[in-house]
Amino acid sequence: MTDTPILHVDMDAFYASVALRERPDLVDEPVVVGGSGRGVVLAANYVARHYGIRSALPMTRVRRLCPHVVVLAPDYATFTSVSASVMETFREVTPVVEAMSLDEAFLDVRGSTRRLGPPRQIAEQLRSTIHDEQGITCSVGVAASVSVAKLASRRAKPDGVVVVPPAEVTSFLHPLDVGELYGVGEKTQALLHRFGLLTVGDVAHTPLRTLQRAVGAHLGRELHHLAWGTDRSELVPRAGDHEPERSMGADETFARDTDDREFVVRELLRLSAKVGGRMRAAGVAGRTITLKVRFADFTTITRSRTMPEATDVTVEIHRTVTRLYDALGLQRARLRLVGVRVEGLVPRDTVHHQLVLGEPERGWPEADRAVDRATRRFGSAAVRPGSLM
């Protein structure tokens, strides 16, 4: 179950896919996201790619290739928000996540297989969750090393999964052009072609010392490992991954769209308990509480409230998101998803609770911590609010 523990998850045409969530009428049209005039393409949907349109292409060239292309302005705030939600989905699967950009990351799932099943099953679960919660698709490569997982995710596009077991690595890699190897750019490709090394198999079967004389000791050794799929299999979180999380949240996609307030409020309680528990485990509290609501047509809105002081108390989080939900007046609107997020996180020991006259010495904070102790010992189902039974 763990001979292919590395997943490379890559969103499909990420910026275009996010932009098209708000414009479902354009799904079958050639669409690019980018600046107008002399700007360049940030992303192109797969319809536009049939016309030869790619990222970084000047917009003037795009107009010549496809005069009827639709150009949408980038919404970086939404891109960042969706990316944060996707990365949080990854971290619910495994804490070992190496984010490469807003729309791709490597995951090491060897510690998650006992709980979630084999890597392929985890990959399929991720695709399903991201599609249900974010309304976009992703492709996943599954392998024993970083470079092979990356190449597998390319082969899986769009919206698929490709698994390369160790026994099939050479048959997968060796027919490829050397330019397809992870990290090999145009200059290195041209250099290798000049030496007659056209395929990955050519590189693999060149003696290491010969290869190093041709391209240098360091590059030669790296190319040798890439050609045999024996590059690194341990992930290294990027610098930003070591920084404290600035927010924590959780979403829930309903099995069926609903307008039942009682049901929605119950789910908000479940999410509030989940977020509150994670915050307490991390020793943080936050002041800004945000409700996310996604309608049946994928339209998504958020509403926030900043509290007088930071909190990690489940009841306070739930009370706030319920008030935000009621203030929307959604009596007949059918919902697809709700989410709860707490932002502006600070270390819990820096928060000084203001005493209120007549307030009991012990209350909900102590109850939360008692629940946390019970669930750590007996499992997540040991204690829960009565309305969730």
Report the binding-site residues for Mg(2+). Answer: 10, 103
Supply 347's token pair: 């270390």
Supply 20's token pair: 């098209």
Indicate if 104 belongs to the active site. yes
Which one of 88, 104, 133, 222 is the catalytic residue?
A: 104
Pairing of strands 70-72, 31-34: parallel
Return the number of other C-beta atoms located less than 10 Å from residue 239's C-beta. 7
Pairing of strands 97-101, 104-108: antiparallel
Between CA 322 and CA 264 the distance in angstroms is 9
Binding residues: 10, 103
Q: Which positions are annotated as active-site residues?
A: 104
